[in-house]
Each structure stands twice: as C-alpha cells, then as structure tokens.
Amino acid sequence: MDEPLFGAPPVTVAPGAVHVPGWLDAPTQRSLLGHCRDWARGPAGTRHHTMPRGGRMSVSMTSLGWFWRPYSYSDRLPDGTAVQPFPDMLGELADRALTATLGRPSTGEEPPYDIALINFYDAHARMGMHQDRDEHADMPVVSLSLGDTCVFRFGNTETRTRPYTDVQLRSGDLFVFGGPARMAYHGVPRTFPDTAPSWLDLRGRLNITLRALGSP
C-alpha cells in the first residue's frame, strides 16, 4: 500500500482523462516537495481563499505565474506585488506529462503552460466538485500529487453528481484531463492521513496543477 507503482501503464478514466500511477520517481518527488516549500515561503505565501458566499476553502493554496482566487486570475497579488514567475522546469514537466498521456508534447503553436496552483491538504481538507474554467485556453490540466493518498472524484461535464469515477491518487501520480474531459467536474472528497511514503518528508497531501491561461 505504501510503495508507488513505478512504471505503471497509463489508465484512461474517461475520454481525455488519463491517470499514470507512480509517474514521478522518488528523487523527483523529493525535489518537487522542496520546491513547493520554497514557493510557499515566497511573497504569495499560502492562502485559504474565501468563496463568494463566504465559505473558506479548506486547502491552502500557492499560485505561480498567475494568482488565482475565486474565480479569476491576476498578475498581481491583492497587495499589488508581482506573482512569482512560472518556472521553466514546470513547463518542461507539463510537456513530459502530455507526452506520457496523450503521446505528444505541446506544439509551439499552443498557449504555453504558465500557471501552477499548489494545494496543500491537511487531514481534514477536501475540495468540492467544480470545473476548472477560469483559464481561457483549452490546454489539458496536468495534475501531480505528492504525499498522502486521496480519493479524486472525476465526473462528467454536465453535473456535479453521478456518473463519476473515484480514483485513488497516490504520491507521484500524474492525472491529465483535456479534450472532451477538460470541463469535467472533479473534486477531492477525502484524503487518507499518514499514507505518504516514509521516504517523503510530508504529512498531508500536495497537489500541483499546471495550466495554460491563454488569451480571453
């Protein structure tokens, strides 16, 4: 249960949605975790965003490239400082992820990956069913998981409810959703505390999504 399945084949969860268990090897997971800690210490810090109706999101979030808060992106933090840049390394990772799942990197013609949203889940955090619809480009969303295992609920494009598929995302897993799945509702109904690999110094779960903003 604790060791990721390195080298497992991709699993198509729905047309356009592909899960690759154990895609990131242990050194890469450790290195990404170190970067996430550095990014979280940056000017944007981590925030529990407030939703329009006043609820507070249980995940704490850091943005790179563009600052997200419900429900738009901006190039400045609320206090006017610039958002931390989107690192080239994450653009390269997004390309490798597209190749691993769709069989091709992005073409030079497509909007570039320029947003990373990093969510931290403690044992109680979860994320309700939603669509990722604040980007203007329809490039696939690339999701990387570190730390505790979670249930990732991947649904349909019409409703927040069934039909959906519950997938366990473990440390090192890649999940890409694009094409007909790009606007599917999805969420994280729970995590499994203390399931992070023992060699990763993380209590809780981190999820990094890489996205392309595109132009309006």
Ligand X SMILES: O=C(O)CCC(=O)C(=O)O
Cβ(151)–Cβ(205) below 8 Å: no
Nearest to 150 by CA among 89, 192, 95, 206: 192
- Taking the least distance from each CB to Fe ion, the nearer of 81 and 131 is 131
- Taking the least distance from each CB to ligand X, the nearer of 98 and 169 is 169
Binding-site ranges for ligand X (CB under 6 A) = 117, 119, 127, 132, 143, 152, 169, 186, 188, 207, 209
- Taking the least distance from each CB to ligand X, the nearer of 142 and 188 is 188
- CB of residue 17 vs ligand X: minimum separation in angstroms? 12
**In whole angstroms, what is the distance from residue 147 CA to residue 172 CA?**
8
**In whole angstroms, what is the distance from residue 135 CA to residue 151 CA?**
24
**In whole angstroms, what is the distance from residue 112 CA to residue 210 CA?**
10
Using CB under 5 A as the binding rule, whether residue 95 contacts Fe ion is answered as no
- Report the amino acid identity of residue 101: T
- CB of residue 205 vs ligand X: minimum separation in angstroms? 7
122: buried, middle or exposed (CB in 10 Å: 19+, 13-18, 0-12)?
Answer: middle
User: Is 173 a known ligand-binding residue?
Assistant: no
Using CB under 5 A as the binding rule, whether residue 132 contacts Fe ion is answered as yes
User: Is 186 a known ligand-binding residue?
Assistant: yes
Structure tokens of 200? 């990763």
- CB of residue 132 vs Fe ion: minimum separation in angstroms? 4
- CB of residue 211 vs ligand X: minimum separation in angstroms? 9
Residue 143 binding target from ligand X, Fe ion, none, CB below 5 to 8 Å by type = ligand X
* Count of Cβ atoms closer than 10 Å to residue 144 Cβ: 27
- Taking the least distance from each CB to Fe ion, the nearer of 95 and 132 is 132
Using CB under 5 A as the binding rule, whether residue 138 contacts Fe ion is answered as no
- Taking the least distance from each CB to Fe ion, the nearer of 132 and 138 is 132
Contacts of 159 (CB under 8 A, 6+ apart): 185
Residues of this chain that bind Fe ion (CB under 5 A) = 132
**Binding residue positions for Fe cation:** 130, 132, 186
